[in-house]
Amino acid sequence: MAVKRHRKKSGAARSLRLGEAAKLLGVSPDTVRRWVDAGRLHAERTAGGQRAVDGAELARFAARNAKSGRVRSQHSARNRFAGIVTRIVRDKVAAQVEIQAGPHRLVSLLTREAADELGLAPGVRAVALVKATHVTVERS
């Protein structure tokens, strides 16, 4: 069965190859393949025979599994967190955007206009850039 690639419309999620999904989840492509083979993550075959995961499905999977600790980062995140939008709440002026980047859940507040211009919606790939002039570290 062929996977339909969605046209780039504002907010439209698209199908992602397993390697792309792995990068967003912070795991290896082999791990994603095992999850698909075990039925934990749904993927369909493209016309070329590759497996692909729907972006919205990946967003749900990322949010669900980050809480359980199953998705782990293999890299130092530094100030750049590549991930997938898992939730967005818009009002008349502002938008609250949640991004799952491997095990990291980031929440950002931005103008609704900016969120609309970026086409942010669950399942859309996004990068959160963190810049802070003050960071507090506590020892647990």
- Give the domains, in start order, of the chain with CATH numbers: 15-129 (2.40.50.100)
Q: Please give the pLDDT value at position 95.
A: 96
19, amino acid identity: G
Q: How high is the pLDDT of residue 130?
A: 83
Task: Write down the pLDDT at residue 127.
Answer: 87
Q: Is 136 helix (H, G, I), strand (E, B) or coil?
A: coil
Q: What is the pLDDT of residue 74?
A: 46
Per-residue pLDDT 10s for the chain (140 aa) are: 444 444 444 445 688 999 989 888 888 888 899 899 999 999 999 888 899 999 889 988 988 887 665 555 444 446 778 899 999 999 999 999 999 988 889 999 999 999 998 999 999 999 888 877 666 666 66
Pseudo-torsion of CA 8, 11, 17, 20, nearest 10°? 110
Shortest CA distance to 99 belongs to which of 115, 112, 78, 75?
115
Which pLDDT belongs to residue 10?
45
pLDDT at residue number 24: 86
Q: Tell me how far apart the alpha carbons of residues 11 and 18 are, in angstroms, rounded to a whole number.
A: 21
Contact partners, residue 131, CB within 8 Å, separation at least 6:
79
Contact (CB, 8 A) for 112 and 93:
yes
